[in-house]
Amino acid sequence: MTPARFLARQENLLKLIREAEVDALLVVGVANVSYLTGFSGDSSPLLIGPSIRVLISDSRYQTQIAEECPGLEADIRTQRTRQQDQIASVVAKICPRKLAIESHTCTADEFAKLKEAIGNSDGGKSIEIKALASTVDKLRQVKDDDEIAEIQLAIYQAERGFAMLKAMLTGNMTERQAAHELEHAMRRFGADRAAFDPIIAVGDRSALPHYRPGERQIEESSFVLIDWGAATSRGYRSDLTRVLVTDNFPAKLQQLHGVVLKAQLAGIAAIHPGAKLSDVDSAARRVIEDAGFGDFFGHGLGHSIGLHIHEDPRMNSIAEGELEAGNVITVEPGIYLPNFGGVRIEDDVLVTSDGHEVLTSVPKMLEESVIG
């Protein structure tokens, strides 16, 4: 990605800083710093304002910053200096009247220590410190062309890895072994890592939406739910879910799968710029409720993906706001029946200028999902 892309993002952030009526913002979140600068390390806040743009880091990252962030000023501390004192020193150089700290990405203890250090610095007592949440996150909601391409790469890595896992699944393989094989397969196709710990849930374990793979063997049931994604080397992620079956699966599973698929297609059809988040959720949820399974769909319809696996905007029944072109969101309705199992079908969808584009392509009809 070119330095100009990061400069443009910084300029967009400066507009929001002015709207917040502060003179500078201390960006603390690792993903947010990466989004604004291209830096792939951690523990390196960015102080940004109309008169300053400086990455505050330490000697471990000095060469890396020079390589990844050409032209960006960096303040490098030694091991004898506490980070909060270093930050206070950099802030004192511009002595802003009002300084905002990205409050949602640091703990209350970290915020208090920063406030104390800045207050104790030369001239720091005159600085008003303000908590400011989700400012960079708002910019990250709308993906640019480079980000969309990176998410598409993460989808490719996830889909190829899944195809390899499906081909190698055996009845005596455990959920945990399958999860390890899936992550390894995604890495073989270029993924840096899994986007999150894969969910491999056999039989009735699939009724637990965030089940952790255990020692159940694939052959212990006629179906298995797999929720997985890849993370690229630049940190962008994908997120998919499918149900795989043997050729002798119960009729009840087919019923649930049919309802969930119909709900997912209804949700996807409702996606366009300006669509209310709650309305998209309702479009899918109504299908499940009308089928009599409303009590067994307890989570929201989907969420955005990017540098984090769960980002805003999120689609649920109480969500406020609307979709925008450039959002990349999951659509993942599910039905979870205790003591039987669950079905969730998940795809990644781009909101386009005139509608939507489904970015994922793994088959989701049951007859296309047979293993063994």
Query: What is the distance between the alpha carbons of residues 346 and 302, in angstroms, rounded to a whole number?
Result: 9
Contact 29, 44 (CB under 8 A): no
> Residues 136, 9: one domain?
yes
> Residues 118, 158: one domain?
no
User: What values do phi and psi take at 45, rounded to 5?
Assistant: -65, 155
Can you give the CATH number for the domain in which 249 is found? Answer: 3.90.230.10
**Of 140, 168, 184, which closes a domain?**
140
- pLDDT number for residue 288: 98
**Of 140, 166, 185, which closes a domain?**
140
pLDDT in tens, 191-245: 999 999 999 999 999 999 999 999 999 999 999 999 999 999 999 999 999 999 9
Q: Is the pLDDT of residue 247 over 90?
A: no
pLDDT in tens, 352-366: 999 999 999 999 999
> Residues 153, 192: one domain?
yes
**Of 140, 160, 178, which closes a domain?**
140
What is the domain count for the chain?
A: 2
Q: pLDDT band at 124, cuts 50/70/90?
A: low
> Residues 293, 179: one domain?
yes
Q: At what angle do helices 83-94 and 108-120 cross, to 10 degrees?
A: 50
> Residues 122, 270: one domain?
no
- pLDDT number for residue 3: 85
Q: Is the pLDDT of residue 143 over 90?
A: yes
Question: Got the DSSP string for 20-67?
Answer: TT-SEEEE--HHHHHHHH----SS--EEEETTEEEEEEEGGGHHHHHH
pLDDT in tens, 308-322: 999 999 999 999 999
**C-alpha torsion sign, points 291, 292, 295, 296:** negative
> Residues 220, 332: one domain?
yes
Tokens found for residue 126: 């005159």
Owning domain of residue 124? 3-140
Count CB atoms within 10 A of the CB of residue 53.
19
- pLDDT number for residue 372: 77
> Residues 9, 37: one domain?
yes
Can you give the CATH number for the domain in which 129 is found? Answer: 3.40.350.10
> Residues 87, 209: one domain?
no
> Residues 332, 220: one domain?
yes
Count CB atoms within 10 A of the CB of residue 13.
23
